[in-house]
Amino acid sequence: MTAISMVQCLFKSVCPAMRRHFGLTAVVRGRMDRREHQIGSKPVEEGVEGEKYFETIDLKSSGSTFPTMETMKQVFHGIPFDETPICYVKCSKNNVKISITDCYGAKLMYTSCGLEGFKNCKKKTEVAGQATGIAAGMKALRRGIKSVRMIVSGLGPGRMSSVRELGPRPRKKRRI
């Protein structure tokens, strides 16, 4: 056998899958398939509804929102204003945290969007802030707290909805 015939014999005996051809058509074809797949697929939605929603308030139409000197002398539900528990609402870009302390700073309760079952990007939403406000209000009522001083900090999406839900509850619906 000559050297050329031995090379041809070896070439034929190699598995066809192991043979490699030089060329770019397969690479280009793979890129085109990927582009067609991307064009046909739906865009990926990140987040949920209400994530980038900010509500502004008009302080002139809302009346008195800040305590005055007369407020310091008033009594709310039998408790002087100075001894009323303090509710801290911290609204960050990604979360709403609500904690209630007594007038001296000892923590009575704490809740946040993550503790209420909202995870990842859902913590940013106004709905999560609202649910956290409702949960904080219910926990405070169970502890016998009926009025609080509010300290709101931050500019997150759940800011106003959480404060709104900490407000007074409507009366029970009348049964006939």
pLDDT digits (tens, 9 = 90+) for 117-135: 888 877 778 888 888 888 9
Q: Does domain 69-165 have CATH number 3.30.420.80?
A: yes
167: closest CA among 122, 130, 113, 116? Answer: 130
3-state SS class at 101: strand
Query: Could you read off the pLDDT of 57-108 as tens digits, one per residue?
Result: 555 555 556 778 888 888 988 899 889 999 998 888 888 899 999 999 899 9
Give 41's DSSP letter: S
Sorting pLDDT into bands at 50, 70 and 90, what band is 165?
Answer: low
Q: Which residue has the higher pLDDT, 80 or 28?
A: 80
Sheet with 96-101: strands ordered across: 107-112, 96-101, 86-91, 149-153
Q: Are 55 and 158 in contact (CB under 8 A)?
A: no
By CB atoms closer than 10 A (0-12, 13-18, 19+), residue 149 is: middle
* Structure-token pair, residue 27: 């690479």
Domain boundaries, the chain: 3-40, 69-165
- Mention every residue, 6+ apart, whose C-beta is less than 8 A from residue 122: 48, 113, 128
